[in-house]
Structure 1
């Protein structure tokens, strides 16, 4: 399986003792440069029928997902109207300071909760997951860490998975991306970026508990709880939450 930051969220337990079905809800980094064996495994073992790509148009243009027979691909640009929307890796490296990168990442997570395009996008994503009763939905962005990380957390919260498991899954990205991150840092080192820039980039390539906690706090302060947020901001009401649970939980 040559996909970075890939994991099936099956087996995750809710506070009521139910668990997420395997081969239903899968997160990853971008699906670029897949070998034939990986494509076959996605379809035959993981039963992927839907891929949701959260990347921006310039990211997709640079590295379009590999097509897979029998799989529907949907692009949802979550940062379309965001002030933080142009942050490519070069932008992060050129920020050149850890504090600036941290501040930028907190702004991104704030936008993922409050920005209208992100709200429309996550609502659409949830409806795709609910509607895909026949197979698995795989969702990703570039690194599978921020846009994807909040998407995974959002669904797990709606399924009533406790924070310990939600944050553990979120932080697992740092283990899963070590090799890929080192390759990117080598690439930028070879381009001639100085150590401050590489340090800034290193931060941008990792997740921190405080980022997701900031998104959660933003959501709770504005809406009270995840269910009100889903209903009011994402147009995803209690009947749809029930349908989500029916589809994803065993």
Structure 2
């Protein structure tokens, strides 16, 4: 990981993949630094982690997990947190209580199985009704609020990764930077601890024999996964801009407000 990439990542003991996805060149300027945060869930956050998060003055938390995920893994907040936590009720994964990458693990045994499962998953992510509902809340929060926000799911890699990539694309971030930020999941923070934790969830949940290489594919990200989601969007709507307008409610007026809040 380069020094520039390292500067984006905040080291946490119990929160995986915590980083700033702002500060990229965008249409008309550069994304603000310190206002666009993303991470995995905070259910195992330490007191020190919560102090670090509190210092960022985050006023809006967008939780992309489903209802049963939230119930099973309650996110910890700083005692002085007074912000809003936004989510659309329901399940974002087809299997209650599971993250989206976990639902794909049922028939996976090899790395190739895992790769094909993740590609199939990413074709559906932009169109899952509950996930879309929370994406809509996020986009409108970005339009209405100038204060720092935090976007997260369970591992902070798939649902979160797509949401961050959509924001980047709508604001004119270069595609190479979009992919590079997405792939930072593989090296941000203690990636090995995240993979180990994910492996326990997957293997305990489905009780099947799975190659270590398959687990790594499920718990990581690859450029082709994100490209598959963008391809599915273009196939249905013609462009990300049209998808954002037709599915997420990002009208030209909403997009202009987001740009005014995030681009300097």
SS in 1 for 2:105: helix
Partner of 2:186: 174
Q: Say how many residue pairs are matched.
A: 246
Q: What is the rounded CA distance, in whole Å, between the counterparts of 1:237 and 1:138 in structure 2?
A: 23
Provide TM-score, normalisation by structure 1.
0.86
Is residue 95 from structure 1 mapped to residue 105 from structure 2 by the alignment? no
SS in 1 for 2:186: helix
Is residue 4 from structure 1 mapped to residue 16 from structure 2 by the alignment? yes
Runs of 5+ unmatched residues, structure 2: 1-11
SS in 2 for 1:95: coil
Partner of 1:55: 65
Provide TM-score, normalisation by structure 2.
0.82
- CA deviations on 1:173-224 (whole Å, 9 max, x unpaired) are 0112233213544787899x77634332221101011100001111122222
Q: What is the rounded CA distance, in whole Å, between the counterparts of 1:78 and 1:245 in structure 2?
A: 30
- CA deviations on 1:150-181 (whole Å, 9 max, x unpaired) are 00000001110010000000001011223321
SS in 2 for 1:234: coil
Whether the aligned pair in 1 keeps the contact of 2:101 and 2:158 (CA below 8 Å) is no
Partner of 2:32: 21
Runs of 5+ unmatched residues, structure 1: none
Whether the aligned pair in 2 keeps the contact of 1:12 and 1:165 (CA below 8 Å) is yes
1:1-250 map, 5 Å? 1-2=12-13, 3-16=15-28, 18-44=29-55, 46-68=56-78, 69-76=81-88, 80=92, 83=94, 86=98, 89=102, 92=105, 95-133=108-146, 135-176=147-188, 177-185=191-199, 196-250=210-264
Whether the aligned pair in 1 keeps the contact of 2:68 and 2:91 (CA below 8 Å) is no
